[in-house]
Chains A and B, each alone.
Chain A
Amino acid sequence: MKEKLNYSYYPGCSLHASAGEYDLSTRELFKKLKIGLTEVPDWFCCGATPAHNVDELLSLSLCAKNLELADKVEGDLAVACAACFSRLKTTQNVLSESEVKRKQVEKAIDAPVILDSHVKHLLEILARDLGPERLAQSVNKPLSGLKVACYYGCLLTRPTDVPNLDCVEAPTIMEDVLKAVGAETVAWTHRMECCGANFTLSRPGVVIQLTNAILDSAKAAGADCVMVACPLCHGNLDIRQKEIEGVYSVNYNLPVFYLTQLVGLAVGLGPDKLGLAAMMVNPLPLLKEKGLL
């Protein structure tokens, strides 16, 4: 038996607002799996896409500040959001390569930059640090018969030039986790296509067009539901699903689960601890039909 796993936790802004169920299910799942999780006190927004879109220095500084705050808490940094994950990793990569940029960022945050800390996505913790074998041992209600379309989205496996959680073009890390908890996964085309992300605010029409293609492909592959590991992907696929169905006159009715919700279900957590009631597309009929509730 390996020693107890302990992490510092960076939830990111969405998990304290529109993705509350992701935060809840993550905390409950980690408690159940006996993995330590301590939230970084007073973390800031990482700047996400808008910051690096207009001001690289600001983006790097915000991430460097968060890395500094996280360093005060014991353990590797666990990140829930794919965008935060990508930004924090990119910052470490860019600043370790460019001394000029590092000096500027150090001046901006008035502190040394932490480059050697490990930033890990929740997926990585479940699939690598804990491992499929130990995860399978904790399962008491296998998700047998549930066909899941694993949606990676764009930022989870990027940037490419740093050691990352999986292959950039054909990752299998989500499938590995789901197989360990007994679910079936489908092969489908749009697993890594962008959902339009933060255009949901400024250009919802774009998001609706892109997400429709994703949901369409998942449905055509015979999936019962979609699994995501990013609050923005979830927002676009779940919250906008009714609207998409109206615009394109189709009926998808595909519940969109967070990774921690599906794994939590398999280790025996109830719907209230997974925040299933907060999902816009009601997953309860599907779960009842499959005998998982």
Chain B
Amino acid sequence: MQSLSRHFTLMSTVQFLIGGILLSIKGCFVKKKKMIISQETMDVDFVRKVEALSGTSVRRCFQCGKCSAGCPMATFMEHPPNRVVRLLQLGQWQRILAGRSIWYCASCETCTTRCPNKVDLTSIMDALRKLSWDAEGASKESYVQLANKLFLQNIRTYGRQYEMRLAAVFNVKSGQFLKDLMLGPKLISKGKLKMFQSKNKNLSEIEKIFTRIEEMRRKGEAL
């Protein structure tokens, strides 16, 4: 089993390397777009929306970089947290939403905890993810978004999280049929994956909450 998992890792490393080489070859031919800061390129309205949703002002940030220093996910992001705020200050939100940074945020709240000037970056990330639904050119960091979507669907249908179903449907929908396949039987033998789970008696109430929120949103009364 171990050798098999090492084999998969080796394969993904090779894939990663090939991908990297291809990207760098592409980089030689495609000219990098320069960032031009002017009144035309600054979209302040969008930034105001982010500020209203998150209840925090991006102008408070003085770029000390403490958020990025503590961020466990910063290595996976093309724009680390402090740069996300900087881009917002400059009205360049398209650059953030086109990338994967917001989808690699784990919501661990380290940034908000450590910010010396009370910038609530966790809420800014939430606001950006929410606004990316309708924003043009927003990245579909598909795996994370798919997982989120299935998670919420589970709540609506069952009232609670149904881990077995969540993992199975995720693997099918993301086309990764073999993902964590080796873990499955072990988890079942340890009683960690339940085949059947009791449904809530008050399931209709959760459906009502979802419907009411949808209706409020249609009428423009919701957050």
Q: How far is the CB of B10 from chain A (nearest CB, A)?
A: 10
Q: How far is the CB of A96 from chain B (nearest CB, A)?
A: 13
Q: Of residues 128 to 178 in A, which have CB atoms within 8 Å of B's CB atoms?
A: 154-155, 158-160, 168-169
A50 within 8 A of B: yes
Which chain B residues lie closer than 8 Å to A65 at the CB level?
A: 205-206, 209
Judged by DSSP, the binding face of B is helix
The reply to whether B213 and A61 contact each other, CB–CB distance below 8 Å, is: yes
Which chain A residues lie closer than 8 Å to B109 at the CB level?
A: 86, 154-155, 158-160
Contact with A along B124-138 (1 / 0, CB 8 A): 001001100100000
Which chain A residues lie closer than 8 Å to B191 at the CB level?
A: 20, 278
- Expressed in whole angstroms, the Cα–Cα distance for A243 and B183 within the complex equals 9
The reply to whether B212 and A110 contact each other, CB–CB distance below 8 Å, is: yes
Which chain A residues lie closer than 8 Å to B210 at the CB level?
A: 58
Which chain A residues lie closer than 8 Å to B206 at the CB level?
A: 44, 62, 65
Which chain B residues lie closer than 8 Å to A44 at the CB level?
A: 155, 159-160, 200, 206
Judged by DSSP, the binding face of A is helix
B23 within 8 A of A: no
Which chain A residues lie closer than 8 Å to B9 at the CB level?
A: 246-247
Which chain A residues lie closer than 8 Å to B154 at the CB level?
A: 45
The contact of B170 among A13, A62, A202, A239, by CB within 8 Å, is A202
The reply to whether B222 and A104 contact each other, CB–CB distance below 8 Å, is: yes
A57 within 8 A of B: yes
A108 within 8 A of B: yes
Which of B164, B170, B193, B223 has its CB near the most chain A CB atoms (within 10 A)? B223
Which chain A residues lie closer than 8 Å to B183 at the CB level?
A: 239, 243
The contact of B144 among A110, A203, A246, A280, by CB within 8 Å, is A203
Contact with A along B99-124 (1 / 0, CB 8 A): 00000101111101110000000000
A42 within 8 A of B: yes
The reply to whether A18 and B5 contact each other, CB–CB distance below 8 Å, is: no
The contact of B72 among A55, A56, A155, A194, by CB within 8 Å, is A194
B179 within 8 A of A: yes
Q: What's the tally of chain A residues with a CB closer than 8 Å to chain B?
A: 66
B2 within 8 A of A: yes
Which of B113, B114, B162 has its CB near the most chain A CB atoms (within 10 A)? B113
The contact of A17 among B76, B163, B221, by CB within 8 Å, is B163
Contacts A17-B194, A154-B110 given; does A104 touch B209 at CB 8 Å: no
- Which B residues fall within an 8 A CB radius of A? 1-3, 5-6, 9, 12, 53, 55, 72-73, 76, 104, 106-110, 112-114, 126, 129-130, 133, 143-144, 146-148, 151-152, 154-155, 159-164, 166-167, 170, 179-180, 183, 186-187, 190-194, 197, 200-202, 205-206, 208-210, 212-213, 216, 221-223
